């Protein structure tokens, strides 16, 4: 019992410290994504707090961090702009109407996500092939890396320009120092998160050394914000008064809501899958869908821009020792404390420290084994891996994963379509026997049909499916059409060793198949295959 409580205390300590680290890393991300979407930084920070807290408590993956993300922010850009234009075109023009449409869209996206979890759509994440997963993490690592390069630019003059001279060298030095602390400290002790110590150490050097470097505060002000300081999120009662509940509104926000819901769920479920592999545990995809939906509904009503799982912050959390729900709760709660009470201190943290942390995340995220396996895996899998990586960088995660799954499915179907075989023999009584090997499905029916010579075959034909499996309705239809061709030619045809479910479907289509299908077969192989099929 003593050991149990010691272990719980140790886990709680790791969760608390890693949660503090994640909270610091969340600030510039949430602010940056707010600027991308064209809204006030507090809208992104509130989203990071509310989505992070709700999914940490009710989500399907302990230790996973959620908040405002770039993938969703990009979609919101045109939504806010169009919403503002619609507001100014009203009979009584309303400024910044796009923000109200944003909140309404986030609520609707949350409803769609909650329904996806209710109907258990989360299980479909299991259909994502491993090459797609590798392409996803590689592409995401590149995207995170590229997003941090913008921190090496000076935006104080309006037009962003690359840092030069002493400013650039100072920035690089602090980034390298942060990365060095994160790399070497775990070799000395793992009792405290290396990322947290790195951020605190570099912040102390910058502050007490009087270094003129970009900080969280200057980053916010350069982007047009006024600072982190804010109050508690408040219920957006104006939504019901300002957003008209009519067909025009529905047709405007529904497409955006559907895209946000899809992007949010794909990114969350992919992150969940990745953390499952890292921690050797298994999360609940359907529960995560429902939690993400509930979080976005609440966020929309309380002035947040919505969000989903954040792979970078999730990896920081897990690799800092945060494996329980407490880590996410601490991260979200600490973020709110920053907003309410500690904004002046957080605004002093150098951007370089946070960039260094994210660079270490990039190194840990990228699947370096890719370079070793590319020449060893099937060409189709290698193509999918590279394709998903490229699409993630050029477009976004949702498009990359969908295309990757489709291409993988097509490659699998094409490969299996070529595997169907037919061995032909003639019995002493003159019956011609076709022994079929391979799966019979929509992709292989053309090859299957080409195996038969209806016109020149003898009067009696038998098709043996002992080494074949009818996989879909297209296969059943192909068998039905083949039987009709032989019988139209005045020939007798019998089917052997069909699976039990295939027999049922054929007989439902036509009672005549009861006389065509042979079921009384003295062949032990048939029963072995049938039993295996039932077990599978």
* 406, part of any domain: no
Do 353 and 502 sit in the same domain of this protein?
no
Token couple for 302: 């309380």
Phi and psi at 496, nearest 5°, equal -120, 150
Do 458 and 330 sit in the same domain of this protein?
no
Do 269 and 66 touch, CB atoms closer than 8 A? no
Kindly report the pTM of this predicted structure. Answer: 0.73
* 6, part of any domain: no
Q: What angle do CA 198, 199, 200 make, to 5 degrees?
A: 95
Do 371 and 469 sit in the same domain of this protein?
no
Do 376 and 499 sit in the same domain of this protein?
no
pLDDT value for 534 = 39
Do 216 and 106 sit in the same domain of this protein?
yes
Do 256 and 341 sit in the same domain of this protein?
yes
Query: Could you give the CA distance from residue 499 to residue 487 in angstroms, rounded to a whole number?
Result: 22
Length of the chain: 536
CB-CB neighbours of 90 under 10 Å: 11
* 368, part of any domain: yes
Do 332 and 460 sit in the same domain of this protein?
no
Do 22 and 329 touch, CB atoms closer than 8 A? no
Do 483 and 513 touch, CB atoms closer than 8 A? yes
CATH number at residue 476: 3.30.750.24
* 2, part of any domain: no
| pLDDT tens, residue order, the chain (536 aa) | 444 335 455 578 889 999 998 998 888 778 877 877 778 888 989 999 999 999 999 999 999 999 988 778 878 888 888 888 888 887 777 777 888 999 999 999 999 999 999 998 877 777 778 888 888 888 878 887 887 888 888 877 667 889 899 999 999 999 999 999 989 988 888 777 788 889 899 999 999 999 989 988 888 887 777 777 888 999 888 777 788 888 888 999 999 999 899 888 888 988 898 898 888 888 898 999 999 999 999 999 999 999 999 888 898 899 888 889 999 999 999 999 998 998 888 889 898 988 888 888 788 878 888 888 888 888 889 999 999 999 888 877 778 888 998 999 888 888 877 788 889 999 888 899 999 988 888 888 888 999 999 999 999 999 998 888 888 888 888 988 999 999 999 999 999 888 887 888 778 777 778 888 887 655 544 444 444 443 33
Which secondary-structure segment (H or E) carries 251? helix 247-279
pLDDT value for 9 = 53
* 414, part of any domain: no
Do 149 and 263 sit in the same domain of this protein?
yes
Give 47-90 pLDDT, tens digit per residue: 999 999 999 999 999 999 999 887 788 788 888 888 888 888 87
* 403, part of any domain: no
Query: Could you give the CA distance from residue 498 to residue 447 in angstroms, rounded to a whole number?
Result: 19
Do 432 and 460 touch, CB atoms closer than 8 A? yes
Do 365 and 443 sit in the same domain of this protein?
no
Do 215 and 316 sit in the same domain of this protein?
yes
| Number of domains composing the chain | 2
The string of DSSP codes covering 302-338 is TT----EE-HHHHHHHHHTT--SHHHHHHHHHHHHHI
Q: Which residues contact 172 (CB under 8 A, 6 or more apart)?
A: none
Q: Which long-range contacts link 174-177 to residues 24+ away (Cβ below 8 Å)?
A: 174/202, 174/205, 174/206, 174/211, 174/213, 174/350, 174/352, 174/353, 174/356, 175/352, 175/355, 175/356, 175/359, 176/356, 177/201, 177/202, 177/205, 177/356
Domain limit, last residue, from 347, 376, 394: 394
Domain limit, last residue, from 360, 394, 428: 394
Residue span of the structural domain in which 465 resides: 420-535
* 384, part of any domain: yes
pLDDT value for 467 = 85
Domain limit, last residue, from 394, 429, 456: 394
Do 244 and 118 sit in the same domain of this protein?
yes
* 153, part of any domain: yes
Do 381 and 445 sit in the same domain of this protein?
no
């Amino acid at each position: 019992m003593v050991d149990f409580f010691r272990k719980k205390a140790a886990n709680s300590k790791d969760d608390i410290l890693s949660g503090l680290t994640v909270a610091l890393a969340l600030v510039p991300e949430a602010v940056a994504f707010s600027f991308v979407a064209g809204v006030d930084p507090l809208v992104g920070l509130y989203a990071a707090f509310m989505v992070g807290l709700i999914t940490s408590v009710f989500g399907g993956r302990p230790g996973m961090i959620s908040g405002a993300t770039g993938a969703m922010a990009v979609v919101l850009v045109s939504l806010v702009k169009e919403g503002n234009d619609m507001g100014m075109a009203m009979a009584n023009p309303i400024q910044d109407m796009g923000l109200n449409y944003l909140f309404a869209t986030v609520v609707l996206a949350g409803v769609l996500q909650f329904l996806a979890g209710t109907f258990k759509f989360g299980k479909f994440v299991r259909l994502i092939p491993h090459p797609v997963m590798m392409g996803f993490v590689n592409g995401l690592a590149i995207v995170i890396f590229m997003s941090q390069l913008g921190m090496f630019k000076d935006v104080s003059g309006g037009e962003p320009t690359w840092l030069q001279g002493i400013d650039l060298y100072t920035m690089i030095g602090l980034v390298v120092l942060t990365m060095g602390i994160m790399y070497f400290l775990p070799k000395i002790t793992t009792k405290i998160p290396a990322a947290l110590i790195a951020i605190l150490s570099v912040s102390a050097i910058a502050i007490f050394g009087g270094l003129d470097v970009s900080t969280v505060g200057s980053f916010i002000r350069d982007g047009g914000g006024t600072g982190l300081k804010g109050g508690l999120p408040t219920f957006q009662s104006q939504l019901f008064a300002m957003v008209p509940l009519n067909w025009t509104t529905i047709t405007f926000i529904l497409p955006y809501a559907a895209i946000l819901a899809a992007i949010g769920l794909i990114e969350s479920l992919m992150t969940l899958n990745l953390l499952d592999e890292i921690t050797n545990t298994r999360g609940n995809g359907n529960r995560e869908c429902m939690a993400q939906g509930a979080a976005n509904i609440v966020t929309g009503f309380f002035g947040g821009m919505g969000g989903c799982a954040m792979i970078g912050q999730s990896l920081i959390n897990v690799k800092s020792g945060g494996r329980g729900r407490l880590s996410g709760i601490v991260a979200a709660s600490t973020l709110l404390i920053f907003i309410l009470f500690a904004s002046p201190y957080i605004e002093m943290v150098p951007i370089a420290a946070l960039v260094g942390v994210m660079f270490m995340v990039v190194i840990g995220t990228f699947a370096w084994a890719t370079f070793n396996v590319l020449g060893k895996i099937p060409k189709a899998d290698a193509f999918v891996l590279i394709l998903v990586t490229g699409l993630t960088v050029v477009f976004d995660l949702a498009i990359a994963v969908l295309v990757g799954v489709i291409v993988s499915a097509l490659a699998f179907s094409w490969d299996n379509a070529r595997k169907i075989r037919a061995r032909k023999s003639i019995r002493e009584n003159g019956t011609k026997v076709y022994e079929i090997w391979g799966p019979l499905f929509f992709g292989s029916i053309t090859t299957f049909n080409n195996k038969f010579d209806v016109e020149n075959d003898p009067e009696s034909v038998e098709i043996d499916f002992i080494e074949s499996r009818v996989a879909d309705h297209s296969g059943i239809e192909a068998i039905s059409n083949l039987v009709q061709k032989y019988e139209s030619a005045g020939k007798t045809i019998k089917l052997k060793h069909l699976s039990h479910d295939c027999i049922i479907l054929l007989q439902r289509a036509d009672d005549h198949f009861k006389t065509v299908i042979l079921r009384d077969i003295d062949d032990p192989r048939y029963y072995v295959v049938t039993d295996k099929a039932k077990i599978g």
